[in-house]
Amino acid sequence: MQPVKSPARNTDLGVYQTKTDGATGQGPGTAQREQIDRILLGATFHGRDSLKRLLTYLGERTMEGTAGDLKEYTIGVEVFHKPEGYDPQQDGSVRQHMSKLRQKLDEYYRAEGNSDPIRIELPKRQFRLEFQDSVQMQPPGEPAGRRPTAYWAAISCLILLLPFTYWLGSVRQASAELDPAVRRLWAPFLDSAKRTVVCLGTPLFLRNRSFRVRDSHLNATDTPEAQARIEALQGKLGLDSLVPTFDYTGIGEAYAAFDIAHVFGGVHREANLKRANVISWDDIRGENVIFLGAPKFNPQLAAITDSLELAVRESQVINIHPRAGESATYGRISDGNRDAAEDHVLIDWLPGIGPSDRILILEGGSTSSNWAAADYLTHPATARELVSRIKLPDGTLPPFFQVLLHVKYKASVPTRTDFVAFRQIRSK
């Protein structure tokens, strides 16, 4: 199983200490720990770091059999770093967090976790979690063990990036053919004799045996500036060495890959999956490539998009030559939890390096915006809208273009995506 994240003191750096059940990663509580990981990685708990720490802590103490000994004071000190001797009667923040965690667990199981194999509950006035088998709780007539394919595909990509290539075409739309508008948009890839590679943006993490840390200003290790930041981070954490790793991707990129898999599976075409840190210029020259993720997680994008009128820079879209009614910049609006409430994302449909290659780029300021862009290109209603907006006077579609979209979110889940601007690209 995957390492379980336990809260560490350096939470301001996004550091988590990993823990496993022995050499094989199996043992008592394995299924329960996997369920906790599943919840931590879901959209419901996105941006709720304090609740994630609390859930992880209570889960570990419950599985150790020591949750019955917990006191409000102990949780305050060990989870929320309250000073020694603090008075829980005067500071009710632990009780507030317990209530919020109970509400969030209920919210999780009402939506994205309604088909999870294990249900976790936090009884009132207790510090012990309860784990229940969801199969035994299913209503009569509902097949046991049935799980949403999209959810599992997304989680599998997020927890640990799949091996170097992946058979995306294994997902089939056996019950219906592709919508004509979707088929028309994706024809340059679906009808090409060349292979398509889906490239997942992969942020750089640094790790040792116990810790994994992400520096948001660091996505390479081969410059003096990067080495200086790594050394400074090692000193702050009191570690001798940190090893770079590119084994995670965003939940939005995972959902986007699944949407694209449905399109390719609908016409029985295959695509391969690669990580951005290992794709080469030879790959890009010889194949059709679909890039998912922010430019800083896809190193080649800077060179590919340097001459375009619309470009993503520092989590906002820059409009180099604004037209009437357009803005020079399109940014993000955050909610009270610093999650995106509104954002913008670019779709770049470009010529490739080789004479018949194609490149598609979904690039936004957040992982959820890439999910929204893939939905927009693969859902019949929005595909029809896009076709009607960009088709040329003779009824054909421009081979190369850019589209700017505006996205609204609830709890980091895209709830509405609207067309904003369009640029046709003249291929040289």
Q: What is the pLDDT of residue 135?
A: 52
383 band by pLDDT with thresholds 50, 70 and 90: very high
pLDDT band at 171, cuts 50/70/90?
A: very low
Pairing relation of β-strands 211-213 and 205-207?
antiparallel
SS3 197: strand
Q: Which residues contact 306 (CB under 8 A, 6 or more apart)?
A: none
Q: Note the residue count of the chain.
A: 428
Q: Which residues contact 33 (CB under 8 A, 6 or more apart)?
A: 1, 4, 21, 59, 63
Report residue 326 as tokens.
């357009």
Predicted pLDDT at 13: 30
- Reply yes or no on whether the pLDDT at 194 is more than 60: yes
| 54 touches 98 (CB < 8 A) | yes
The answer to whether residue 155 scores a pLDDT higher than 50 is no
Contacts of 241 (CB under 8 A, 6+ apart): 208, 234
- Cα–Cα distance between 345 and 406 in angstroms, integer? 7
pLDDT tens digits, 41-71: 888 888 888 899 999 999 888 988 888 889 9
Greater model confidence, 128 or 355: 128
Q: What is the mean pLDDT of the chain?
A: 81
Taking the C-alpha atoms of residue 387 and residue 131, their distance in angstroms, rounded to an integer, is: 49
- State the alpha helices, DSSP H only, in 143-217: 149-159, 180-190
Asked if pLDDT for residue 208 goes beyond 50, the answer is yes
Residues 6+ apart with CB under 8 A from 286: 194, 354, 357
Give the amino acid at 322: P
* Residue-wise pLDDT tens digits, 367-382: 899 999 999 999 999 9
pLDDT tier at 290 (50, 70, 90 boundaries)?
very high
Report, as an integer, the average pLDDT of 19-39.
Answer: 63
Tokens of 286: 């010889």
Average pLDDT score over residue span 30-43: 87
Decide: helix, strand or coil at residue 380: helix
More confident position, 210 or 377: 377
Indicate whether this model's pTM tops 0.75. no
Nearest Cα to Cα of residue 112 among 332, 410, 382:
410
Helix (H) or strand (E) holding 34: helix 30-40
DSSP output for 250-308: -HHHHHHHHHHHHHHHHTT--EEEEETTT--HHHHHHSEEEEES-GGGSTTHHHHSTT-
Report, as an integer, the average pLDDT of 153-167. Answer: 39
With 90 as the cut, is the pLDDT of residue 393 above it? yes
> If DSSP codes are grouped into helix, strand and coil, which group holds residue 60?
helix
pLDDT of residue 58: 93
Q: What average pLDDT does the segment 67-88 reach? A: 89
pLDDT of residue 23 exceeding 90, the answer is no
Q: Where are the alpha helices (DSSP H) in 65-203?
A: 72-78, 93-110, 134-137, 149-159, 180-190
Confidence of residue 230 (pLDDT cuts 50, 70, 90): confident
Q: Which residues contact 265 (CB under 8 A, 6 or more apart)?
A: 168, 169, 170, 171, 172, 173
Reply yes or no on whether the pLDDT at 161 is more than 50: no
Kindly state the average pLDDT of the residues 130-137.
71
Grade residue 354 by pLDDT with cuts at 50, 70 and 90: confident
Q: What is the pLDDT of residue 33?
A: 87
Per cent of the chain over pLDDT 90 is 36
Domain boundaries, the chain: 4-137, 152-203+247-424, 205-245
pLDDT surpassing 80 at residue 156: no
**Nearest residue to 253 via CA among 290, 220, 284:** 290
What per-residue confidence (pLDDT) applies to 15?
A: 30
